[in-house]
Every structure is written in structure tokens, then in C-alpha cells.
Structure 1
Amino acid sequence: MLISRNLKWSVIFFYTWKSLSYYFTLAVTVFLLHDYFSVWKLHIPFTAISALSTALAIFLGFKTSNAYERWWEARQIWGNLVNYSRAWARQVITMIIPENTTQTQSVKELQYRLIYRHIAFVHALRVYLRKKHYYNKQWQEEIYEEPNQYSDALAFLSPEEYKLFTNKQNPPNYLIELQGEDLRLGYDQGWLSDYRFAKLDETLVEFNNIQGKSERIKNTPFLRQYSFFSRVFVFIHASLLPFVFVEELRWASIPISVIISFVFLALDLIGERSEDPFENRFEDVPLTALSLTIETNLKEQWGDPQFPSKKHATNGIVL
């Protein structure tokens, strides 16, 4: 997630140089044909392009707004995961109660599994949503992708659980199943009453809901017709601009048309880069930072001082 107010121009150029090259080449070509070659004197009135510019601005504004809504919903979903994770640890610690002192150690072991397996679930859900198990840096470490591996959950699972976990089609969902089985074990042992068992199971259901909502955003792309036609319309608009300005501005039409085209291109890219918030890109929801926050909070609630290293911003980016 970008937290810096300023973007580096090298990053912007990385994503726009092909389009800008086309805009510049076209503007220069139109200027040369208009002023130095009598074979072509084509000129488009400004009123013709103004209608297209207005329609395109409305279209791109709609696309950007809806793309941001998807991004913000994803952030809210993971904000709920932070909240329910804290509640889960508190419920596990306070609601699973031994019937006598001889059962204290067994209850502690059960509580430990439930809390630390949930940390594994959070890390597994992050990896499952991103589905990119590699790391890539380009342009002097200005383009980032976070390394994501299911091995991040290894420290929080038993070797047997981890082996089964990595062979599942949906590893996070498998961990929730194990959580439910352990809750049933606590209920059978008499450490949970009917009411307390139901409340803990409700929290597990919320984790299912959070995963399901995240998968819905991940697996349901923003309407492809918006993405396709926005690119087409931006291309058509940029292609017509040099013909509008060349008659009155002459050589100045080159920078003017490139700048205006860049504005519409930037609006289109903002929507395109925001519409899928779980793609392991530097504009996405900071799943790694949120996962480490949850891990830190739950370890603190359990009394474990071995906190993970805090994720600091690098070049204004938190992953």
C-alpha cells in the first residue's frame, strides 16, 4: 500500500513509457505533416474533441470510483480479521476453563493450538489470496512484490498438520476445520459449556465469512468491459488530440497533447491498478503488515514476547 504522498517519477515512467512514446511520436508526426508537408492538412475542430473528453472523464471517474470501492471493501474485510482475531484469542483464553487443576496443562495446550493455529490461518489466507510465491524487484527496488510462501505458517503448526495443510486445495479452510475439531474436543472434555462453545464457533464462522468475502473479490474481476473500453477510449482520445491543437499551437501542440493524454492515461491506470487489491502489488491492501499485526497482538495476548519484526515502509510502500 502506498502511504507516501509522492510517487517517484521512475515508477510512473515504468508503467507509462510505452503509451507516452506513442503519444509523443504521433504528436511529432502530425506536426511535421501539417507544417512541413503539403500532403496533409487535416485538422479537427476543438468542439468535436471536447464532447469526447467530457464523456471519457465521466467514464474514467466511474471506473476509478468503483475500483476504489473494491479496494476499500478489501481493506475493511481485513480490518475485521484483525478485530475478530483479537476477540478469538480473548475468547480462547477466558472461555475454555478446566474442570479441575489436573486439567490445567491440557487446557493450556489446547488454547495454545487454537491461538497459534489461527496465526497460521492468517498467514495462509494472505498467501492463498496472493498466490504468488516469488519475489521480484526492478528499477532500483522501486517496484515491489512481497515473497509469499506457505512456509510462513510452519512455525505455528505441528509437522503433521503442516504436511496435510500444504496438500490441500484450500489450506486456510482446512485450518478452520481443525479449529472446529479442537473446539469439539474441548466441549467433549467439559471445558466448554454449550453457550461458550456456540460463541467460539460463531467467531470461527466469521473467519469463514472473511475468507469468503476475500475470495469473492479475488475471483470476481472488475467488469472486463469497463477495463477494455477505457483503454480503447483513452487510445482514441490521445490519437485525436494532436489534430485538434496543431492548427493553432503548431509545435506547442506536441507537449500539450502529450500532457493531456497523460492525464487521462493516469486516471485509467489508477482504476486498473486499484480494482484487484490482492494481487501482491505495491498499491494493494498491505496483507503482510496486517498479518504481522495480528501475529503480534495474539502473541502479546498469550504472553509470548517473541514478536515478529515490524513491517516498516520502504520508499513510501507498506506491503
Structure 2
Amino acid sequence: MIVSKRLDPRHVIFYAWKSLLYFFFVSVAVYLLHYEWDARKLTVPFEMIALFSTALAIFLGFKNNSAYDRWWEARKIWGLLVNYSRAWGREVQTLAIAEEGKSTDELDSWKHRLVYRQIAFVHALRVFLRQRLDYNEIGAQWVQTSNDYNDIREFLSEEEADEVLSKNNPPNYLLMIQGRELREAYQKGWLSDFRFMQLDQTLTEFNNHQGMSERIKNTPFPRAYSYFSRMFVYLHGTLVPFAFVEELGMFNIPLAMVINFIFLSLEAIGEGIEDPFENRPGDTPLTAISVTIETNLKEMLDEKDLPAKAEAVGGVMF
């Protein structure tokens, strides 16, 4: 997620330089055709370009609103995951009670496992949703981001980690293990019927969060929007120089570049947020949210060795 109020020009250049180069050569070619090779009939009425621009702006605005809805829904889902993870830590700590007169060592170990396994679930879900990439290129620099299933090993036993990572859907299997642990706690008398149901209900919410995230991940943004918006932007950008070359001459080149850059930016904004789990600069900051959850849950265990707070790199929060 881009958090800087001022965008680094390298971000824009990195994503737009090929398109801008195309529009530049088109503008130069139109100028040469018109003045050097005397093809003065190759013009387009200004009114037609004005109508085209208006229609294109409306189309891009509709597409961007739809893309933003997907991004915002993803952010709300992970916001709920933060809330329910905190609730899980509190419920595990307060609802499970050992029988009077019996040692609490085994129960304390159980609580620790369930809280740590929730941290592992959050990190596993982050990796499961994102592309399996270790680096993101932002402009002229490379930024390393942690996006590997090995991130969950420190929160699980070695045997359990190997078992979880052998599955096709590691985060879902972690929730299955959590459910088994709840059943065992109920059988040992640590949880009453009501408390067992309360914890199981919270566990079900994690299934819901994963399912909603997978729905966004596995349902692509309508391809027609992306295809036609890009095609219309290029068609519009190709025609713009023909509308101004007669009156502006060489100054038509910078003007066409500015106009095309505006529409290209609108198109790129929508494309950059339409799939919020791809580990790109404009996506939902899953790493930062995961670190926040890890920190909160470890504090509930009164631990002092907390992860470093996620910081924006180059104006981007991953």
C-alpha cells in the first residue's frame, strides 16, 4: 500500500515508460507526416477527440470505482482478522480454566500453542494469498519482503510445521489442528460447553476470513474491463496528436504526452488495485497487518521479544 503523500517519480516511470515512449513516437511521427511529408489531410476533428475523451474518462472512472471496491473489501477482511485474532488470544487466555487443585503447566503450554498457531495461521494465509515472490521492484530499487512459508516455522513444532507445509492449503489445515486442540481441552475439562462453542465460533470466523480473501483472489477482475480500458487508452492516445498537430505544430508533441499521461495514469490506478493480494506496491499491506497481529498476540502472552514494527520502504507499506 502506497502511504507516502508524494509519489516517487520512479514508481510512475517504472510502470508507464513503455507506454509513454509509444505515445512519444506516435506524436513525432504525426508531426513528421504532417509537416515534412506534407500529409496535411491526416487530421482528426477536435470535437471527435473531445467526445472520445469524455466517454473514456467516464469508463475509466467506473472501472476504478469497481477496482477500489475490491481493494477496500480486502482491507476490511484483514481488519476483521486483526480484531478476531485479538479476541482469540483473549478468549484462549481467559476461558480455558484448569480444574481446582491441578497443575496449570499443561494448560499454560496449551494456551501458548493455540496463540502461536494463530500467528502461524495469519502468516500462512498471507503467503497463501500472495504470489510466491521474494522481491518487489519499485522504480530503480529492489525491496525485499518476507513472503515464504518458512516464516511460520518459529511458531510451530518442527513436526507440526512439516505436516502443515505438506498440505495444499496450509492455513486451512492449521485451523483444523486448532479445532482438534479445542476438542482435547473440552475432554480434559478445561472448557465448558459454552466456552468450547465460543472458541469454536471464533475459529469459524477465521475460516470466513480466509474464504472471503480466497474469493477475491480466485475471482479475477472482469477481463473485459481491463482489456477494453487499455485498448481504448491506446486508441485515444494514438488519435490525440492528429487533433492538435495542425494548430500547434511541434508543440503538439508535449501536449499529446501530457494528455496521454493523464489517461494512462487513470488506467494504471485501476489496474494496480484490482487484485489486492499480488504483493505489489498498491496492494493491501498483508505483511504489516500480520506483524501487527503477531505483536498483539505475543503481548497477550507477556512476551518481550516482539517483532520490529513494519515500516514503509520507499513510501510503500507491504
Please say whether Structure 1 and Structure 2 have the same fold, judged by a TM-score greater than 0.5. yes
Structure 1 contact 183–197 (Cα < 8 Å) conserved? yes
Partner of 2:224: 225
Q: Which one-letter code corresponds to 1:56 in the other structure? A: L
Output the CA distance in 1 between the equivalents of 2:70 and 2:137: 26
CA displacement at 1:178 relative to structure 2: 0.3
Partner of 1:95: 95
CA displacement at 1:160 relative to structure 2: 1.1
1:176-205, Cα deviation, whole Å (9 max, x unpaired):
000000000010011111110000000000
Partner of 1:110: 110
CA displacement at 1:313 relative to structure 2: 1.4
* Compared CA separation, residues 200 and 173, structure 1 to 2 (3 A): same
CA displacement at 1:147 relative to structure 2: 3.1
Structure 1 contact 43–243 (Cα < 8 Å) conserved? yes
Partner of 1:267: 266
Output the CA distance in 2 between the equivalents of 1:135 and 1:101: 53
CA displacement at 1:139 relative to structure 2: 4.2
Partner of 1:160: 159
Classify the secondary structure of the residue corresponding to 2:3.
coil
CA displacement at 1:138 relative to structure 2: 5.8
Structure 1 contact 49–241 (Cα < 8 Å) conserved? yes
CA displacement at 1:145 relative to structure 2: 5.8
In structure 1, stretches of 5+ residues that fail to align are: none
Structure 2 contact 134–145 (Cα < 8 Å) conserved? yes
Partner of 1:29: 29
Partner of 1:240: 239
CA displacement at 1:51 relative to structure 2: 1.2
Output the CA distance in 2 between the equivalents of 1:101 and 1:35: 97
1:111-146, Cα deviation, whole Å (9 max, x unpaired):
1111000000001000111131422446442x6462
Output the CA distance in 2 between the equivalents of 1:76 and 1:234: 31
Output the CA distance in 2 between the equivalents of 1:101 and 1:238: 79
Structure 2 contact 13–139 (Cα < 8 Å) conserved? no
CA displacement at 1:217 relative to structure 2: 0.6
Output the CA distance in 2 between the equivalents of 1:139 and 1:274: 18
Q: Which one-letter code corresponds to 2:161 in the other structure? A: Y
Structure 1 contact 121–176 (Cα < 8 Å) conserved? yes
Q: Which one-letter code corresponds to 1:198 in the other structure? A: M
CA displacement at 1:231 relative to structure 2: 0.5
* Compared CA separation, residues 118 and 315, structure 1 to 2 (3 A): same
Structure 2 contact 14–138 (Cα < 8 Å) conserved? no
Aligned pairs for 1:135-174 (under 5 A) are: 135-137=135-137, 139-141=139-141, 144=143, 146-174=145-173
* Compared CA separation, residues 133 and 260, structure 1 to 2 (3 A): closer
CA displacement at 1:36 relative to structure 2: 2.1
Q: Which one-letter code corresponds to 2:85 in the other structure? A: S
Q: Which one-letter code corresponds to 2:205 in the other structure? A: E
CA displacement at 1:64 relative to structure 2: 0.6
Partner of 1:258: 257
TM-score, normalization: structure 2? Answer: 0.97
Output the CA distance in 2 between the equivalents of 1:48 and 1:140: 39
TM-score, normalization: structure 1? Answer: 0.97
Partner of 1:62: 62
CA displacement at 1:272 relative to structure 2: 0.3
Structure 2 contact 138–281 (Cα < 8 Å) conserved? no
Aligned-pair identity in percent equals 54
Select between 98-107 and 172-181 the one with higher mean Cα deviation.
98-107
Partner of 1:199: 198
* Compared CA separation, residues 137 and 234, structure 1 to 2 (3 A): closer
- The Cα RMSD (Å) is 1.2
